[in-house]
Structure 1
């Protein structure tokens, strides 16, 4: 087996947990902008920490819906890139030899499931779902959601306003995006599966972060628990990032390095 540390770590992980955590960088090759201010089209080139909040939604639900529908419009034609496909192959390979696997994605684009990943947590929600803004409604937090309705979205975009604002079919409250906003908590909805994520972080033999800038809470929560159990932790990204001295940086593009990893493991 190769002496490459990442390949060796993955090869020796079975039957224990192999945990992968993906951020926006894994979808960049699919044409979806990241959040980094230095990247072309970066979402953080505007103040997403203000727009991506429940506070903003309450102040201006029409503006919130307009911003998100423009953002999510870029997802319609996106397709999985080689990084997504390689991670699905890595799962099949690891599970096939008796290992446990979980992929935790910060992305809402749905590309991991399109690529074939099965053990998957959408820790920041999903772009193909909406939910009622009224807590406790059957279609709202902490358990409910609804499939996104493209016709309803299109009608709103044609004439954005209070009259066309998408509303809950059960209670008529405004619908909202089924995503975790910056002023919300991971415990706010069952679909974020935070307990499953933290349990996997405590069990993992290997944790591989892919395409994340370590700028959101979930990465720190996972990293802290993994390092406490002496897991082998890697950060795969074109930019070398050192969130902790024990994290091994793998400076490469995900769409190139992950297929190479699968080939080295015989998982391609």
Structure 2
């Protein structure tokens, strides 16, 4: 489908808020698997809704840490692709002409930040951080966190035992991933910035969903608020998803479609 309607909508939003919501499809060209079962290497080809839970962590913290360290191991070498850089360019272009911009990503890989995005919410957390699992600790929710200790994590992988579990330096409780699990709430940690996201969804002139399957709660919440606001809604994805009749599909990969949008706007 033509990118022209999206280009026109973005061009007209010079004094409004341009809200972009990205999912795993944005990072596929960086070598990071998506969550879609039909994609090669997709994480949802295993039961992530079972493994990606606080309940599983409490029952088997060793298994949880092993699964996440295998999953996050591929992130260290990943680099931003043209989609990430195009979104950073789009932000600079929108701000330079007096508009507002916010990028909300469901991804935890940090590639948007590496590419230069600044007005950014990492609504599902960050893979480069961990936090304490003991509520009330200063390194736990609702606002605490720690940087990853790769040396400690490598030692755990060499000998995955309870004695080697990464532990909190303050209270010695097991550390956990700094990500939103399937049985948790967006209000669980300050870093998720869910209030900022929902306020932006209410004010946005244009909402662009990129590389998302609309399978998680935040996309539904943003979509509902965008519809009530009368925002212009678009979904850029190689599969023509139709989450709502008011969402205009733009059939393209993120790494092709987003640079093309920047060129069409004169933003490159």
Could you say what secondary structure the match of 2:250 adopts?
A: strand
Task: Give runs of aligned pairs for residues 52-67 of structure 1, distance below 5 A.
Answer: 52-67=52-67
Q: Separation in 1 of the partners of 2:26 and 2:252?
A: 11
Give the corresponding residue for 2:153: 153
The question of 1:98 aligning with 2:98 is answered yes
Q: 1:160 to 1:51 in 2, by over 3 A?
A: same
Q: 1:39 to 1:101 in 2, by over 3 A?
A: same
Give the corresponding residue for 1:138: 138
The superposition leaves residues 66-113 of structure 1 with CA deviations (integer Å, 9 ceiling, x where unpaired) of: 000000001011000000000000000000001110000000000000
Runs of 4+ with >4 A deviation: none
Deviation at 1:14, TM superposition (A): 1.5
Q: Separation in 1 of the partners of 2:262 and 2:179?
A: 31
The question of 1:81 aligning with 2:81 is answered yes
Task: Give runs of aligned pairs for residues 104-183 of structure 1, distance below 5 A.
Answer: 104-183=104-183
Give the corresponding residue for 1:23: 23
Gaps of 5+ in 1: none
Give the corresponding residue for 1:50: 50
Give the corresponding residue for 1:220: 220
Could you say what secondary structure the match of 2:75 adopts?
A: coil
Deviation at 1:115, TM superposition (A): 0.3
CA contact (8 A) 2:14 2:97 kept: yes
Task: Give runs of aligned pairs for residues 178-217 of structure 1, distance below 5 A.
Answer: 178-217=178-217
Q: Separation in 2 of the partners of 1:15 and 1:127?
A: 34
Deviation at 1:163, TM superposition (A): 0.5
CA contact (8 A) 2:3 2:261 kept: no
Q: TM-score w.r.t. structure 1 length?
A: 0.99
Deviation at 1:3, TM superposition (A): 8.3
Give the number of equivalent residue pairs: 267
Deviation at 1:114, TM superposition (A): 0.3
Give the corresponding residue for 1:244: 244
The superposition leaves residues 147-182 of structure 1 with CA deviations (integer Å, 9 ceiling, x where unpaired) of: 111111111111111000000000000000000000
Q: Separation in 1 of the partners of 2:60 and 2:254?
A: 37
Q: Separation in 1 of the partners of 2:73 and 2:149?
A: 13
Deviation at 1:238, TM superposition (A): 0.3
Q: TM-score w.r.t. structure 2 length?
A: 0.99
Q: Separation in 2 of the partners of 1:50 and 1:216?
A: 15
Q: 1:21 to 1:3 in 2, by over 3 A?
A: closer
Give the corresponding residue for 2:264: 264
RMSD value, Cα: 0.9
CA contact (8 A) 2:201 2:226 kept: yes
Q: Separation in 2 of the partners of 1:160 and 1:182?
A: 24
Give the corresponding residue for 2:10: 10
